[in-house]
Structure 1
Amino acid sequence: MGPRPNGPDELDRIGLTKAVNGGCTHGSHAEKQVGRVIIALILAALASTSCSTQPDSDLVEFPVAEEPVLPDLKDIDEGLADYITVRHNQVIQYPTSGSERGRLAMTYDVNNWSRQSIPVYEQAHLLDPYEFMWPYFVAHQNAKIGEYEEAVGMIEVALTIDPDYSAAWLWLGTWLLRLDRFDDAELAFERAYSIDQSFYSIVGKARVKLMSGNSQESIDLLEPLRVKTLHPEIFRLLATAYNDLGRSNEANVARALSKQEAALNWPDPIVIRREKHIRGFGGRLARAQRLLQANRVEESLRELLSLRTQYGDRPSLVSTLAWAYSAQGETTMAMETLQIGIESSPEHQPYYTQLGDLVSLTGNLDTAEGLLRKSVELNESDSEAHLRLGIVLMQQQRFDEAISAFNAVLDIGSSAIAEAHLHLGTIEGYRQQWDEAARHLKRTIELNPRHIAAHERLCYVYIEARQFDELDAALLWTQQLAIPPENFAQVLKYRDEVLANSE
């Protein structure tokens, strides 16, 4: 593992490196090489004035790192194997370059070769001890395998290089909590907050308070955040804190709202830098899908079109490309892409589900129905195909057939069950079967307590059924979900109208 800056002399050298690099520790390889040359010349000049008889070869001693071992690449994607070979050869050609070692380490890291990445990151840090990324990435790798003491040590090294990177302080606080170092963790989260005032650091401090037995202080930090975000982690922490204080009703509501699985991920631009080294079909496709989920549609499309040029119309690629076109509002391009996919792979069932769903958005329900029935024919156990077919049939007011499709979803069992109950409740509400409608909508809410549409529709069902006690309880839940104010006002207005007409 590389040396850690220690004491004022080391910190002064860090400051000198920053000054040479224009105050930036993340400069280009060329800039850093210039910086090192200048530092070497300064040190050499100082050495020559203090000891003029010292041989020139001893003036500046550059660190030496071991040559990395090239792993066996015969069974991996050809594009990835070629890129690893190129990066490895660059290291051999420039053995004193920390940047080249770092690029090789990042290549291993983001292509699921974590074990190979750690020693190469450490070599990069040895050669380039003032670059923030190398100890930072070693820290992440240590944390990934549960070595939190080592992770804390390395991220502290990184923070001596750049003490103003908020994400690093958040990670430091998180890993210190794993070690039950509550006071140190709180200081780390406070430092993060002083940099960018993000709610992530507030959640971190709330975790510290909760884990150290200060539940009320945790609640005081978390409750204001409910107005800003409905992230499940906030409600999970609140549920625990409320329960600690015996506030069971509030704990039950918070616990229900925390059911959805979602990690609390803060922005970390330096970690994202590694992604440019992703190679191979699977890795690049996964990156394009992550970009889509993050609503970075243009970047995703560029990656997908590049993959298509290189790998052709692979089904997973075609489906993702159609998804990207649809996200960009280019429905026609999305449908044409899927039609090309069907022509080349007519038995690939997911194409028909995806295309049928897109066609239904154009209002051509007969064609959409045909595509979705073909999808069900090819794979009767695909609950998503049954769900989409049921929605199209419901739009055509063919309710009995729609109910059969939604019941098929319930029989198969999948994440689509909540939506199937939602639509069954909607149909029963249309038929004025209020008890059945309420039963299905409540089941949707049990499966997904944060489903705003289900809560809204349940309120309307209770109003129509004149079940005002149940309505009051439902309205409390709806308020907890931060329903759009205009929607909530509309529910109350309709309730008041019904009450007035009932008198």
Structure 2
Amino acid sequence: MSAKQQLYACICSVVALVALLVSCGKDPASKLDLSVVSIPATDDADLRRFLARLDSQAKADPSSATNRGRLAMAYDANGFSEAAVATYAQAASLDPREMRWPYLQALANSQQGNIESAVQLMEQAIRLDPTYLPSYLAKGYWLLDLGRHQEACENFRTSETVKSTSQFKLPLVLGLIQCHFELGDDEQARQLLAELPNSDLPPYALQVRDRVLRTRQNERVEIPMLNQTNSKPLSWSDPVAGAVVEFTRGLSGESLLAQKLIDGSRAADGLPLIRSLRSQYPAEAHLLELHSAALVELDRHAEAIEVLETGIGEFKGEHLLHFNLGLLYVTAQRTDEALRQFDRTLAIEPSFVQAYDAKATLLINQNANQAARETLEASLKLRSPDAETHYLLGVLFGGEGEWLQSIDHFTQAIELRPDSASAHASLALSLSEMGRIEDAFAAIQSARKLAPNDPTVQRAVETLVANDVLEAF
């Protein structure tokens, strides 16, 4: 290579290096499109006007993080989650030192199910303000949901060093209990139970406590993640997120707010809002469902039933009113009336699979197994493949001694959910009844490998041994 070529190559290398350094030094947020997000479509005139005003303010001063953040909060408060996430990101780009924007963006991401992104954004918020305890609580429970138990423990322990008040003690201690339990440190989890209040625990806390206590009887049961349980989620004081409520407008936004109040164990606060909405929008059937749900949360079940009984007379053909009324009748042990409401639900909306499930469960509890089977089989024609439905059908067929059908449904349940220890154990019992001993042995071994201490698995093993089908393990 000539001296001239060497010099040219050297210059090119330097230019490339400088370009690389410049590129690496750029803030990734600088590449973010800062064009104001288009207003989502809505039929609510009041909400349209409100969003248009905030949109105009954001466009009038496109460098204002505050205006952009206010627009994001309006989108967030009124259920436009995608627009909210994008606009929060813009606000964070315009003011990278403000923790509110990544914090609220993290919460919005979590509501969309984007938990990994939510964790990353919350870490950014914590770096900007390491004293705000709700950041640690949200991040900790998301880490638990992701199965990152060690990180969750470290996060909760770090949050203990942040100055806090008694209102945060329950979610903090409960988070520590759960992460220790998931890491297999049952003894530490049980010791932490002593720090929980003796009364007034929310349903999720009761679930966690009961599962930890059951380890004493060698009945280890997995704790459901917060987003996988039917219990109300935990809540704690959060002024930053609470400020979003002020941007609620119109029927859709205020309905969403009412639902959040109910879900956050604040039904008493939501009830006046719901009554006001019912007065303003008497033709909206879903407000009756909200009204009833708030009354149920306040243990005013008779009033909740009355609201829906009135509603089904006013709103003909609203299947959800009939369905929810049926559920309330179940709670009130008014079984025949519940079945009639579930049947009415299906007459109006034959593809509503939740009604099939509710009806089948009620029939099983009444030992009406044939009717329950027919109900579940009808639901299979309408729903996507469902492991739980096949499992229940396997149990029902097995209870009637119809082993081939039982085996078929358990097998399908396992194909859909291979980690179901109960399905493997139940399959083993059905196979043994057909004399397929080797297959039964393989099935029970799979069950024991998945969950050796699961009560269903243990009972299956005991049954197989007692019947001399298998040698004692």
When normalised by structure 1's length, the TM-score is 0.52
Q: Distance in 1 between matches of 2:153 and 2:366?
A: 55
1:106 aligns with 2:73: yes
User: Which amino acid in structure 1 is aligned with residue 402 of structure 2?
Assistant: Q
Alpha-carbon deviations, 1:398-446, whole Å to 9, x = none? 444433322211111247x434323322321221223432432343344
User: Which amino acid in structure 2 is aligned with residue 474 of structure 1?
Assistant: A
1:167·1:266 contact (CA, 8 Å) conserved in 2? no
Alpha-carbon deviations, 1:1-59, whole Å to 9, x = none? xxxxxxxxxxxxxxxxxxxxxxxxxxxxxxxxxxxxxxxxxxxxxxxxxxxxxxxxxxx
1:418-497 mapped onto 2 (5 Å cutoff): 418-448=387-417, 469=441, 470-479=443-452, 483=454, 497=466
The count of corresponding residues between Structure 1 and Structure 2 is 365
Q: Distance in 1 between matches of 2:357 and 2:106?
A: 45
User: Which amino acid in structure 2 is aligned with residue 421 of structure 1?
Assistant: H
Q: Distance in 2 between matches of 1:153 and 1:318?
A: 37
Alpha-carbon deviations, 1:93-134, whole Å to 9, x = none? xxxx998996565334433353666667788x69xx7x6435
1:346 aligns with 2:319: no
Where structure 1 has 5 or more consecutive residues not aligned to the other structure, the ranges are: 1-68, 92-96, 175-185, 203-220, 229-256
Q: Distance in 2 between matches of 1:367 and 1:110?
A: 38
Change (3 A) 1:446 1:261: farther
Q: 1:343 Cα deviation (Å)? A: 0.8
Q: 1:348 Cα deviation (Å)? A: 1.4
1:76-475 mapped onto 2 (5 Å cutoff): 77-81=44-48, 106-111=73-78, 112=80, 113-114=83-84, 132-133=99-100, 136-137=103-104, 159-162=127-130, 165=133, 167=135, 194-196=158-160, 224=184, 269=238, 272-276=241-245, 277-290=247-260, 292=262, 298=268, 301=271, 303-312=273-282, 314-414=284-384, 417-448=386-417, 469=441, 470-475=443-448
2:447·2:457 contact (CA, 8 Å) conserved in 1? no
Q: Distance in 2 between matches of 1:465 and 1:302?
A: 61
2:421·2:447 contact (CA, 8 Å) conserved in 1? no
2:421·2:450 contact (CA, 8 Å) conserved in 1? no
Alpha-carbon deviations, 1:131-170, whole Å to 9, x = none? 64357557889999x9x99x99997687355456573799
1:77·1:280 contact (CA, 8 Å) conserved in 2? yes
Which residue number in structure 1 is paired with residue 21 of structure 2?
none
Alpha-carbon deviations, 1:336-364, whole Å to 9, x = none? 22212211111112322332343244444
Q: Distance in 1 between matches of 2:71 and 2:41?
A: 18
* Larger deviation, residues 293-302 vs 368-377: 293-302
Q: Helix, strand or coil: the match of 1:412?
A: coil
Q: Distance in 2 between matches of 1:157 and 1:399?
A: 54
Change (3 A) 1:82 1:425: same
Alpha-carbon deviations, 1:280-321, whole Å to 9, x = none? 322333344455556665555565445334433622232344
Alpha-carbon deviations, 1:232-269, whole Å to 9, x = none? xxxxxxxxxxxxxxxxxxxxxxxxx9xx9969x99894
Q: Distance in 2 between matches of 1:333 and 1:452?
A: 42
Q: Distance in 2 between matches of 1:352 and 1:460?
A: 39
2:103·2:135 contact (CA, 8 Å) conserved in 1? no
Q: 1:461 Cα deviation (Å)? A: 5.1
Q: Distance in 2 between matches of 1:355 and 1:457?
A: 34
Which residue number in structure 1 is paired with residue 16 of structure 2?
none
Change (3 A) 1:159 1:84: same
Change (3 A) 1:404 1:169: closer
* Larger deviation, residues 313-322 vs 73-82: 73-82
When normalised by structure 2's length, the TM-score is 0.54
Q: Helix, strand or coil: the match of 2:451?
A: helix
Alpha-carbon deviations, 1:452-471, whole Å to 9, x = none? 76567557656877856233
Taking only the aligned residue pairs, the percentage that are identical comes to 21
- Determine which structure has more spread, i.e. the larger CA radius of gyration: 1
Change (3 A) 1:326 1:163: closer
2:92·2:102 contact (CA, 8 Å) conserved in 1? yes
Change (3 A) 1:394 1:462: same
Change (3 A) 1:432 1:167: same
